[in-house]
Amino acid sequence: MLTYRNIKLICSYIFNLNIKSQVGSLPKILKQIRTFNKLTQLELSEKLNISRSYISQIEKGIKNPTNETLQKYSEVFDIPLSVIYLFAENLDNKGFKNKAKKLLTKSSLNLLDWISK
């Protein structure tokens, strides 16, 4: 379900051009989801029922999250797992970013127009 919160989250990913390159994009996406929602690793660990150190290792790319952990992220943050994977796969793809920016800009303008009526 695409909610206002999810749209804001997606926009923050796409418009954040200051992301430093690192191996694998999934750790970056998971960290951005957590920080966007203003949660500490400890707070998230309590919500996911996993250790804070495991979250730290995932975000640093030391360990890979299990499918179960990714499903918990999806449920806690109300973001479809497919969206998490989509952004993890395309985070460093400039063509994807440019297309997404154009689409979001157009959609945002349409939304603002709809709200103002």
Instruction: Quote the pTM value.
Output: 0.62
Q: Please answer whether residues 73 and 58 qualify as being in contact, where contact means their C-beta atoms are separated by less than 8 angstroms.
A: no
User: CA-to-CA distance for 56 and 63, rounded, in angstroms?
Assistant: 9
> Which domains are present in the chain?
4-116 (1.10.260.40)
Tens-place pLDDT, residues 14-62: 544 333 333 368 898 899 999 999 999 999 999 999 999 999 999 999 9
Tens-place pLDDT, residues 64-88: 898 899 999 999 999 988 888 877 7
* pLDDT at position 18: 36
* pLDDT at position 107: 74
User: CA-to-CA distance for 11 and 116, rounded, in angstroms?
Assistant: 21
